[in-house]
């Protein structure tokens, strides 16, 4: 069971868990620039996905099953 996006930002593993997808799927979306991350520190070592961006990405996912295209 997934929980609603209620935090302001998520790590990649926590976002994947919240939306019931694999970390690999989330990383692929990030690599394709479909899902944008922010880096809250100057070191830039921990990317975060904001709630707004996560919801935007989810709202723009295709509604049809890719197996039936």
pTM here? Answer: 0.83
Q: Which two tokens stand for residue 69?
A: 């295209």
CA dihedral 2, 29, 37, 20 (to 10 degrees): 10
pLDDT digits (tens, 9 = 90+) for 13-43: 999 999 999 999 999 999 999 999 999 888 7
Euclidean distance between CA atoms 5 and 46, whole angstroms: 19
**Is residue 43 classed as helix, strand or coil in its secondary structure?**
coil
* Percentage with pLDDT > 90 across the chain: 70
Residues 6+ apart with CB under 8 A from 49: 9, 10, 11, 12, 15, 26, 35, 36, 37, 38
The predicted pLDDT at position 1 comes to 45
């Amino acid at each position: 069971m997934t929980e609603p996006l209620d935090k302001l930002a998520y790590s990649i593993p926590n976002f994947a868990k919240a939306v019931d997808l694999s970390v690999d799927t989330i990383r692929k979306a990030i690599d394709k620039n479909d899902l944008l991350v922010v880096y809250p520190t100057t070191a830039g070592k921990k990317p975060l996905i904001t709630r707004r961006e996560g919801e935007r990405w989810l709202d723009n996912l295709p509604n049809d099953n890719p197996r039936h295209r």
